[in-house]
Amino acid sequence: MEIAKKRVSAVLTAPAPHMVGDGFRVHNFFPNGNRIKMSPFFLLDHNAKISFSARNEPRGMGVHPHRGFETVTIAYHGAIAHHDSAGNSGVIYPGDVQWMTAGAGILHKEYHEDAYSKKGGDFQMVQLWVNLPAKDKMSNPKYQGIRRQEIAQYALPDDSGTVDVIAGSYKDTNGSASTFTPINVFNVRLKKGRKASISLPENYNTGFLVIEGSIEINGVETARSNEFVHFENQGTEIEIEGLENSVILILSGEPIDEPIAQYGPFLMNTEQEIQQAISDYNRGKFGFLE
């Protein structure tokens, strides 16, 4: 019996970029750029590769709050520093990931790491907002700083490339990040002319962001750098072939079937919870961060 392919529903070009702070020039693929089903992933910002000039004062995004979800930052070029009001700090370099659970509430700031800022050069990052189910929205904040060498890696057959399993599992290789709901986050590094087969649950919302290069999907669709491939919730198997040496960020997760209320940096289930988040933030309950 032939296993059903997971078909492409759309290949989405990058929306016009906008600045987040003065350090991140991002294309918002969703929710504002495109209205697509990607729960539990609520937001995807891609800072496509650009070059920043050298600067003594690091660019970035100043102190701001979050509640009710997780922020995930994946580095491809450049370096980002992080500080938050729970006392966590770290720097991520190409291949590294920082996974921050805002939970009940946190203040944080992200900015170009000092040495990178003084030198300048290529910069490329992805930031995701991963929703939390209602029962976990008020969990304690935490931070996972994951080095590339700590990320579980699967070597594709025939020296075709590798799969960095950031979260979830790929062919019995388990991801390095802990998550609240079932999700898969992979960086696939695929060589030109080689193939990889990805099997994902039918009901999971699934999308691929082509970080660099170009790929063919299921022998039918083509996607190029800085395009997002959205899949239907039918079938389980996806075959990708590298038309060039390519890097593909794969996102797939079990939907959270709950109402969403969002206001700025808060992602809750009801408007009342949003008002409570604003009140708690104004009363200093998210801690302190300079």
Q: Tell me the pLDDT tens digit for each residue of 181-239.
A: 999 999 999 999 999 999 999 999 999 999 999 999 999 999 999 999 999 999 999 99
Cis peptide before 40 (omega within 30 of 0): yes
Q: What average pLDDT does the chain have?
A: 97
Average confidence (pLDDT) over 120-149: 98
State the pLDDT at residue 1.
59
Residue 18's pLDDT band (cuts 50, 70, 90): very high
State the pLDDT at residue 173.
97
State the pLDDT at residue 90.
95
User: Which helix (DSSP H) or strand (DSSP E) does residue 121 occupy?
Assistant: strand 121-131
Would the pLDDT of 2 be above 80?
no
CATH number, domain 8-253: 2.60.120.10
Q: What does pTM read for this prediction?
A: 0.97
> How far is CA 91 from each of CA 75, 109, 111, rounded to the nearest angstrom?
10, 12, 10
Average confidence (pLDDT) over 165-177: 96
State the pLDDT at residue 272.
98
The rounded distance, in Å, linking the Cα atoms of 276 and 282 is 10
> How far is CA 105 from each of CA 85, 165, 264, 274, rounded to the nearest angstrom?
9, 28, 13, 12
Would the pLDDT of 268 be above 90?
yes
Q: What is the pLDDT of residues 139-149, one digit of tens each?
A: 999 999 999 99
pLDDT above 70 as % of the chain: 99
pLDDT above 90 as % of the chain: 99
3-state secondary structure at position 276: helix
Q: Report yes or no: 259 and 58 within 8 Å, Cβ to Cβ.
A: no
Q: What is the pLDDT of residues 46-77, one digit of tens each?
A: 999 999 999 999 999 999 999 999 999 999 99
State the pLDDT at residue 65.
98
Cis peptide before 265 (omega within 30 of 0): no
